[in-house]
């Protein structure tokens, strides 16, 4: 598993989710893929614990025009998280 991966992605995908405001997501487990484009590489996979630096990377990318097409809320107002850890 990747560093920061707490649960296998498959398990995290099929567990119950909740949409959490981005500013409250640090420390929680991601429930879906967050892949900013460009470059189109995953910044977050399901089951990874989100850190403040990763959240800054995602939100600053959106602020500069990057798209996060796989996220539940493409403007990253909220992030889909695993509901129960």
Per residue in 42-83, pLDDT (tens digit) is 889 999 999 999 999 888 888 888 888 877 777 788 999 999
**In this structure, what CATH number is given to the domain that contains residue 69?**
3.90.100.10
When divided into structural domains, the chain yields a total of 1
The pLDDT mean for the chain works out to 88
State the residue range of the domain holding 77: 9-82
* Both structure tokens of 17: 């989710």
- Average pLDDT estimate for 12-31: 94
Q: Compute the average pLDDT of residues 33-45.
A: 85
Report how far residue 27's alpha carbon sits from residue 22's, in angstroms, rounded to the nearest whole number.
Answer: 11
| 3 occurs within a structural domain | no
Position 2 in a domain: no
Task: Show the tokens assigned to 76.
Answer: 């990253």
Q: pTM here?
A: 0.82
The residues, any chain, with a CB within 8 Å of residue 78's CB and separated by 6 or more, are 19, 20, 21, 22, 72
């Amino acid at each position: 598993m990747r560093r920061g991966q707490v649960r296998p992605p498959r398990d995290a995908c099929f567990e119950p989710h909740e949409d959490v405001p981005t500013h409250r997501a640090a420390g929680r487990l991601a429930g879906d893929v967050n892949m900013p484009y460009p470059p189109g590489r995953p910044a977050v996979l399901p089951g990874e614990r989100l850190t403040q630096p990763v959240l800054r990377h995602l939100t600053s990318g959106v602020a500069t025009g990057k798209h996060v097409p796989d996220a539940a809320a493409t403007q990253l107002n909220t992030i889909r998280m695993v509901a129960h850890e």
